[in-house]
């Protein structure tokens, strides 16, 4: 039977997948860690694994479609949030099979990765995927701290409803104050963020690179956790170490002291 991706769309994957182009950093990391010889192309933003030596095809939002086609992939892996429908449709029109992932929660991520790697590509289930599932199993359930989770600063944008980051943080005792917002990544002016009375602000280093000098100072008196965006927003091999890395960063959260 023709396998179906996370959108439920049939994808005409060849019996043996030999060449893969990834349009998402998380998926690049996942494919490279599982079967590095398959990956022939990735975006300019694909930074892991370190030293990745494949053709680069520009960004997630503006891939060089012609270059992707020229790489003659058996499969292109993409994400419905990260990639644009017209780019994916152009690849399909050229006869390139495109597998689209949809991830909103940790459970989504684990199931999606297994489906892509095992069902679509015919690979054995990787050890890192089993390790990731085990790492998040049976975590302690601390009393949730209400928090805001900015993802951009100019303008201010935060994680809203149905986000992967929000689901991970909730499992670690952080309750997103904007989880009930109708938008997934709403623009919220800073005064409204402060008025929400957060007990914590979580500041990842991607997509906007928040740092100790650019972020905590906007939330005076509120403990600020500077966290690894790769561990908070990527779904791939980093999931196995993410609970420990994120928990350490959350425990280290302190209010901004000022000058």
Does residue 133 fall inside a structural domain?
Answer: no
Domain range for residue 246?
145-255
Q: Are 241 and 211 in contact (CB under 8 A)?
A: no
Does residue 6 fall inside a structural domain?
Answer: no
- Joined together, the tokens standing for residue 229 give 């965006």
Looking at residue 214, what is its pLDDT?
96
Domain boundary among 125, 157, 189: 125
Domain boundary among 125, 159, 192: 125
Q: Is 2 exposed, middle or buried (0-12, 13-18, 19+ CB in 10 A)?
A: exposed
Task: Name residue, tokens 């998040």.
Answer: 136
Same domain, 191 and 93: no
**φ/ψ (deg, to 5) at 142:** -70, 160
Q: Are 175 and 163 in contact (CB under 8 A)?
A: no
**The domain spanning residue 109 has which CATH number?**
3.40.50.1980
Nearest to 113 by CA among 74, 77, 83: 77
Does residue 4 fall inside a structural domain?
Answer: no
Task: Name residue, tokens 């303008």.
Answer: 155
Low-confidence ranges of the chain (pLDDT < 70): 257-259
Does residue 8 fall inside a structural domain?
Answer: no
Q: Could you read off the pLDDT of 89-145 as tens digits, one per residue?
A: 999 999 999 999 999 999 999 999 999 999 999 999 999 999 999 999 988 877 899
- Joined together, the tokens standing for residue 149 give 């989770």
Domains in the chain, number: 2
Looking at residue 255, what is its pLDDT?
84
């Amino acid at each position: 039977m023709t396998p179906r991706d996370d959108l439920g769309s049939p994808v005409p994957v060849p019996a043996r997948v030999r060449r893969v182009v990834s349009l998402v950093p998380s998926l690049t990391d996942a494919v490279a860690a599982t079967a590095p010889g398959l990956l022939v192309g990735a975006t300019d933003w694909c930074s892991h694994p370190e030293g990745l030596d494949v053709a680069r095809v520009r960004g997630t939002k503006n891939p060089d479609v012609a270059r992707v086609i020229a790489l003659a992939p058996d499969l292109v892996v993409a994400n419905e949030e990260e990639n644009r429908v017209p780019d994916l449709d152009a690849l399909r029109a050229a006869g390139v099979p495109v597998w689209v992932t949809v991830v909103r929660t940790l459970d989504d991520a684990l199931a999606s990765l297994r489906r892509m790697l095992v069902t679509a590509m015919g690979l054995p289930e990787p050890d890192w995927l089993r390790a990731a599932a085990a790492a998040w199993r049976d975590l302690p359930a601390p009393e949730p701290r209400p928090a805001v989770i900015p993802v951009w600063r100019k303008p201010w944008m935060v994680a809203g409803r149905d986000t992967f980051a929000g689901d991970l943080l909730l499992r670690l005792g952080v309750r997103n104050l904007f989880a009930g917002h109708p938008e997934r990544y709403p623009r919220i002016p800073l005064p409204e963020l402060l008025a929400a009375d957060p007990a914590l602000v979580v500041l990842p280093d991607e997509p906007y690179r928040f740092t100790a000098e650019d972020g905590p100072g906007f939330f005076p008196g509120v403990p600020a956790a500077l966290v690894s965006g790769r561990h908070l927003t990527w779904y791939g091999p980093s999931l196995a170490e993410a609970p420990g890395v994120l928990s350490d960063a959350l425990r280290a959260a302190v209010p901004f002291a000022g000058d």
